[in-house]
Structure 1
Amino acid sequence: MRWLFALFMMASPAAALDCGSVEHGGHDYTVCRFDASKADLRLFLNDPGSGKPLGSFRNVENLLADEGLRLEFAMNAGMYHQDRSPVGHYVEKGDEARGVITSDGPGNFGLLPNGVFCIGDGWADVVETRRFQADPPACIYATQSGPMLVIDGELHPKFLEESDSTYIRNGVGVSGDGKTVWFAISEDAVNFHSFGSLFRDKLGTPQALYFDGNISRLYVPGLKRHDGGFPMGPIVGVVAPAGN
């Protein structure tokens, strides 16, 4: 996919991270791509001192600054309850905060199949939830959300091309070898079919997962972007030493 790299406008050698604008199907997206074997990719939920939800990119920044680190990239990473606790499976630094949920239900999370974004040691994956439960990978971090956008190279079977349910949406896709991860957020309101086709047809990811809609937020200092708004639950971020 050599053609893709020409679309990206900002590169960070420290995290092997590229971010920029992508057009697909008449819609604009911001897409960030990185090498999972080089980037320090983490999930954040609660402040380790107070136990309270971090809730914002600024709070994650401050937490990392105390450790001599900085945040290079972040976005909201999965659905959450009113108290900002995860709706589904959540693992941080190997510790499970919530188990896997396999039942269907109301809302987008319960629109099966849904899935889990898993971060391992030098790799990442998006795994359909029941596959994940049957053979759990060694996730250092994991967050469950739904629905799946792309499953084995095909769009979720319930997506309708002409659906009028449109929101600002964000999600993640991973290459088949687990080395390349793409995060995307739409710049205008899109339906699930349009958003899923970005990952399938433009980015070429065999598996992709929806994170959320309407509350979708992005943080990329290199693009001078720091979205505010709703307090968040799980947050995914790329971390680097403060001096780099």
Structure 2
Amino acid sequence: MTRLKAAIAALFALIGTAEACRNIDHLGHSYTVCTAEDASSIGLWLDDDRGVIGEFFALEDMLAAQGKELRFAMNAGMYHEDRRAVGLYISEFKQKAPIVTRAGPGNFGLLPNGVFCVSGGKARVIESRAFAANPPKCRIATQSGPMLVINGKLHPRFLPDSTSRKRRNGVGVDRAGRTHFAISNGFVRFHDFATLFRDVLDSPNALFLDGSISRLHAPELGRSDGGSRMGPIIGQVRARD
């Protein structure tokens, strides 16, 4: 068994444990990966009746009032200064921002970009123009860009020797239907981050969520990253004991 196959086997052994999040190494960099086996447990939030939620602790309080527990969460994509989502945003079947399919500046406009959607109890990462041509009925959806992996191939603009290194987070769905949320614990290239999803997390399609501002809330690891107020937040919930 090669070292890579051994690493993949060890990772999926961990996925079968009760812990949602774990730290792994890939190509000399540290990542934290949180996995949701049941897509129906994934939630997406931006605001409540008082305005933008913005912080993990505020989201925890809101869910606790509903008898729910936030198992893990991270920022769910790019947003404007007022915290509104840059691209498509759907929460509990309600669309609050439209899909954007044109090329543009920055990472979001580096086509192909994509949409993470939970539809019919299953999670998918779909290239944005394919999504717009045949949109599924998503319970939740967030658009971001660029795509990290497209049908098993890395984004064509990613360079293995790039000098651009940033903290990054993203999401992918593996061939068994599990959803993997990953964040780098240091500064990494797009190329290296994308290979984490393709080669280790077995995700034929994966989506970059954001960089630099990337934050993770993982109580099981004793971790809750601080920073400025966020826009959309995505994570896993479960009923409180």
Which TM class, normalised by the smaller chain length?
over 0.9
Q: Is 1:137 the counterpart of 2:139 in the alignment?
A: no
Tell me which moved more, 118-127 or 89-98.
118-127
Q: Is 1:239 the counterpart of 2:237 in the alignment?
A: yes
- Alpha-carbon shift at residue 6 of structure 1 (Å): 4.2
- Once residues 7 and 164 of structure 1 are traced to their aligned partners in structure 2, the CA distance between those partners, rounded to angstroms, is 33
3-state SS of 1:211 partner: strand
- Once residues 43 and 99 of structure 2 are traced to their aligned partners in structure 1, the CA distance between those partners, rounded to angstroms, is 19
Question: Runs ≥4 in structure 1, deviation > 6 angstroms?
Answer: none
**TM-score using structure 2 length:** 0.93
- Once residues 138 and 175 of structure 2 are traced to their aligned partners in structure 1, the CA distance between those partners, rounded to angstroms, is 17
Structure 2: stretches of 5+ with no match in the other structure: 1-7
Tell me which moved more, 210-219 or 63-72.
63-72
Aligned to 1:110: 109
- Once residues 5 and 176 of structure 1 are traced to their aligned partners in structure 2, the CA distance between those partners, rounded to angstroms, is 12
**TM-score using structure 1 length:** 0.92
- Once residues 204 and 5 of structure 1 are traced to their aligned partners in structure 2, the CA distance between those partners, rounded to angstroms, is 10
1:55-95 C-alpha deviation (Å, 9 max, x unpaired): 11111101111111111110001100111000000000000
Q: How does 1:26-65 map to 2 (within 5 A)?
A: 26-37=28-39, 40-47=41-48, 49-50=49-50, 52-65=51-64
Contact 2:114–2:145 (CA under 8 A) maintained in structure 1: yes
Contact 2:175–2:202 (CA under 8 A) maintained in structure 1: no
- Once residues 87 and 98 of structure 1 are traced to their aligned partners in structure 2, the CA distance between those partners, rounded to angstroms, is 8
Higher helix share: 2
3-state SS of 1:132 partner: helix
Letter in 2 for 1:46: D
Contact 2:36–2:42 (CA under 8 A) maintained in structure 1: no
Q: How does 1:150-229 map to 2 (within 5 A)?
A: 150-176=149-175, 179-229=177-227
Number of residues of Structure 1 aligned to a counterpart in Structure 2: 234
- Alpha-carbon shift at residue 203 of structure 1 (Å): 1.1
- Once residues 11 and 46 of structure 1 are traced to their aligned partners in structure 2, the CA distance between those partners, rounded to angstroms, is 32
Q: Is 1:5 the counterpart of 2:32 in the alignment?
A: no
Structure 1: stretches of 5+ with no match in the other structure: none
Aligned to 2:73: 74
- Alpha-carbon shift at residue 117 of structure 1 (Å): 0.4
- Once residues 187 and 79 of structure 1 are traced to their aligned partners in structure 2, the CA distance between those partners, rounded to angstroms, is 19
- Once residues 133 and 36 of structure 1 are traced to their aligned partners in structure 2, the CA distance between those partners, rounded to angstroms, is 25
How much identity, in percent, do the aligned residues show? 51
Pairwise CA RMSD: 1.5
- Once residues 67 and 7 of structure 1 are traced to their aligned partners in structure 2, the CA distance between those partners, rounded to angstroms, is 30
3-state SS of 1:166 partner: coil
